[in-house]
Amino acid sequence: MSKVAFITGATSGFGRATARRFAEAGWALVLSGRRLERLEELKAELQDKVPVHIAALDVRDAAAVKALVDGLQAPFDRIDVLVNNAGLALAPEAAQKVALEDWHTMIDTNVTGLVNVTHAVLPKLLEIGKGTSIINIGSVAGEWPYPGGHVYGASKAFVKQFSFNLRCDLVSTGVRVTDIAPGMAETEFTLVRTKGNQAASDALYGSTTPLTAEDIAEQIFYVATLPDHININRLEIMPSRQAWSPFAIDRD
> Closer CB to ligand NDP, residue 50 or residue 180?
180
> Closer CB to ligand 8X3, residue 51 or residue 183?
183
Q: From the list 192, 226, 235, 238, which residue makes contact with ligand NDP (rule: CB under 6 A)?
A: 192
> Of ligand NDP, ligand 8X3, none, which one does residue 51 interact with (CB within 5 to 8 Å by kind)?
none
Please write down the HEC assignment for all residues of the chain: CCCEEEECCCCCHHHHHHHHHHHHCCCEEEEEECCHHHHHHHHHHHCCCCCEEEEECCCCCHHHHHHHHHCCCCCCCCCCEEEECCCCCCCCCCHHHCCHHHHHHHHHHHHHHHHHHHHHHHHHHHHHCCCCEEEEECCHHHCCCCCCCHHHHHHHHHHHHHHHHHHHHHCCCCCEEEEEEECCEECCHHHHHCCCCHHHHHHHHCCCCCEEHHHHHHHHHHHHCCCCCCCCCEEEECCCCCCCCCCCCCCC
Site for ligand NDP (CB under 6 A): how many residues? 31
Determine if 113 is a binding residue for ligand NDP (CB under 6 A).
yes
> Of ligand NDP, ligand 8X3, none, which one does residue 9 interact with (CB within 5 to 8 Å by kind)?
ligand NDP
Determine if 201 is a binding residue for ligand NDP (CB under 6 A).
no
Q: From the list 72, 122, 137, 220, which residue makes contact with ligand NDP (rule: CB under 6 A)?
A: 137
Catalytic residue flag (residue 222): no
> Of ligand NDP, ligand 8X3, none, which one does residue 219 interact with (CB within 5 to 8 Å by kind)?
none
Which residues in this chain contact ligand NDP in the complex, by CB under 6 A? 8-15, 33-35, 38, 57-60, 85-88, 109, 113, 137, 139, 182, 184-185, 187-189, 192
User: What residues act catalytically?
Assistant: 152
